[in-house]
Every structure is written in structure tokens, then in C-alpha cells.
Amino acid sequence: MARLHNLVKYVFAEAPIMIAILTGPEHKLSFANSLFLQTIGTTKRKVIGTRLGDALPELKDLEMHWDTVYRTGVPHLDHERHLRLDYGNGEGEDVYFNFVYQPIKDRKGRTEAICVYAMEVTTQVRARKRYSRQRQRLLNQQTAQLKSQNTELKELNKSKDEFIALASHQLRTPATGVKQYLGMILEGYVGPMLPAQEEFIVQAYESNERQLSTINDLLQIAQIDANKIVLDAVACDVTSLVKAVAKEQRGNIERRRQAIAMHQEGREKVTAWADPLRLRMVLDNLVDNASKYSRENTTITITVHATEKEAVIQVTDQGIGIAERDFARLFQKFSRIDNPLSIVVGGNGLGLYLAKKIIDAHKGKIDVSSVLHQGTTFTIRLPRPKEV
């Protein structure tokens, strides 16, 4: 038995981790192995039998954990505890330990001592901190680079917007002149034309119209992207505005062998706080798209109703529909969704982008729902006038 006791004592004394035993509520050091004494920079004669926190003030902050373990009998892990130990050079050194405080109990379950296990992790902590500093420096460099690139992109974007605005303005003037001259020819100001000549002039006039529409869209986009859009918001009669849009669009829709209908929930007119001119641009685009992406013998329906806080407008078609995966692309600039009619109808991919920007400027919302081969609904929600 004595031999076994000596063997256990030897194992503890020469163990590759720091081991110490603190006895009683005063936490007197009754045992410490060689590695413990060596690591804390002291000798057995100096500390054995003394209150450890008094003998080594640098360990004083650990006493609160010893008190808790002694009082509760519950083990405690102290992870990466920072200590500043004096190894005789008078300067002190920052070191880190993982401590485990394990209660030692008598037969009645009362804590009479605490076994302290410790492992120095200074090398690991310093390596991690060094890595963290290097990583932070890299992140700072990348952040600075991204900020610089962002500034450059903003300047490029500004230059692009200015170029589009200038180019569009310069293009619109001659294009408008071409339209006027073609119109005068079609009106007969230069004499009668042969049928073939008239056909060519009509095609040129319609091409010029599409060109002017694209130029106007580009100018609108340039204004919006430069935050220069100005809304002339009033208490807008949405009901009357929708009726006007439906009336104006009816001719083109009927030529495509389609129908348009307007439906309002309730008898009272629906009013929104909106810029009538800008809102009409949005509705014209939505109704025109609904017609372009629908086949013959289908109906486009515009529905209007009001909630307590919003005026709601829905444009519904019975067209080819939009896949849900394409919803996010709908309102992107110059984005067009591939479908059986996209090549036939043409377009520049600016209409829905412009529509969303205008509705956003009204602090409203525009959403889409669709089922392939069954149809699509665009829903606009606009704030109502406060007095309504």
C-alpha cells in the first residue's frame, strides 16, 4: 500500500501537466508538482503550507473561482486565463493557462480540498492572436481597397449617367426633327406618294417613334439614377387615371385581337398621393407589356381598390406567364426574360426598372405574381392622402 501511495505521489509529481492541491477554505497549498512550481516561478519551501493567493499575489484573481468550487462542490474550467508572472527578471511576462478546479470531497460529500490542474497555452494563444492581427490587417487592407474601388465605381457610374443623359439629349433633337419631317410627308405637304413610298415612310415613322421612346426612357433612367427625379404629388384620382389609360390603350389592344377591362371594388373613387404623370407612365408600361406578352383572344384587366392606408392597382393578363425564378430579374436595368414572345415584341429592358423606381419614389410597392401559361398580375400599392 505504501508502495502504491509512493507511486501515485511520484506520478503526480512528475506529471506533464501542472497539479496542485489547495486545502480548506483558506486554499492553503498542501501539494504542488514540479511543473506547477517551475511554471509559476517559485519553490516548494516558499509556498507549501501557505495561503496560495497571499504567497503569490499574481494568482489572487483566481481565488473567486476557488471559493465558488469549495462552496458549491462543482468543478470549474477557467479557459485561457491571463496571468503576469515574474520569473526573476523584474519585468513580468504575460502567460496564459487553462485551469480545471476539481473539488475533493470527504465520505460525507463535503468539499475539503481542491485539486488544480493547469496547462500552459501561451504559445497557442499568442499564435491565435498573431493570426487574428494578421487577418485584421488583411481585412483592413481589403476594406480600404474596396472603399477605393467603390469610390471609383461611383465616379464611373456618375460619368456613365452624365454620358447617357448627354447622348440621349443630343439624339432626341435630331430624332424629333426626323419625326416632324416624316409626319409632314405623310400629311401630304410635299405632294402625293405612291403606295410603296407611303409604306416605307410609315415604317420609318414607326421606327423613329420606337427610337424616341428608348431615348426618353434613357433620359428618365439617367434622372432617376442621379436622384434628380422630382415628383409633383397630389391627391390623384386613380379611378379616372386608370379609365384614361384603358381608353388610350384600347385601340392598340384591339388591333392585337385582345380586350381590356377595368374593374373597381366599391363605388367611391380611389385616391392616392401620387404624381399623375409619373403614375400614368407606369400604368402605360404595365398595360402595354400585358398586351405584348399575351396571345390573341385574351383579356387584360385593371382592378382598383382601396384599403385604409393604400390605393391598390392590379394589372392582370392571361398571357404566357413568368417563371418564379425570373421574378428577381424583372425590375433590373436592361433585363429581359426569355420567352416565346420576347423576340417578337422587342424592347429595351428599361420599362419595369423605371416603373419600380417611380413607385419606390412614391414610397409605394410594386409586386408580381404569375403562373406559367396562365397569366401575370402586377400589383401597385401607393399611400393614400392623409385627409382621405
- Alpha-carbon separation of residue 222 from 17, 22, 60, 126, 353 (angstroms): 71, 77, 69, 54, 12
Identify the pLDDT of residue 286.
Answer: 93
pTM for the model: 0.52
Q: What angle do CA 120, 126, 130 make, to 5 degrees?
A: 165
Residue type, 46: K
Helix, strand, or coil here: 303?
strand
Phi, psi of 95, rounded to the nearest 5 degrees = -135, 160
Confidence (pLDDT) at 1? 41
User: What is the distance between the alpha carbons of residues 158 and 153, in angstroms, rounded to a whole number?
Assistant: 8
Res 226: pLDDT: 67
| Nearest-5° Cα angle at 361, 355 to 365 | 65
> Cβ(329)–Cβ(263) under 8 Å?
no
pLDDT at 17: 85
In this prediction, residue 388 carries a pLDDT of 47
DSSP 51: B
The predicted pLDDT at position 87 comes to 65
Largest CA distance in the chain: 132
E-strand ranges in 56-168 read 76-85, 93-105, 111-120
Burial class (CB in 10 A: 0-12, 13-18, 19+), 378: buried
What is residue 269's predicted lDDT score, i.e. its pLDDT? 85
Q: CA-CA distance, 240 to 290, in Å (whole number)? A: 20
**Intervals of the chain under pLDDT 50:** 1-2, 4-5, 342-344, 388
Number of Cβ atoms within 10 Å of the Cβ of 141? 10
| Sole residue written with cell 440621349 | 168
Phi, psi values for residue 299, rounded to 5°:
-125, 135
**Do 287 and 276 contact (CB within 8 A), yes or no?**
no
As to burial, measured by CB atoms within 10 angstroms (0-12 exposed, 13-18 middle, 19+ buried), residue 300 is buried
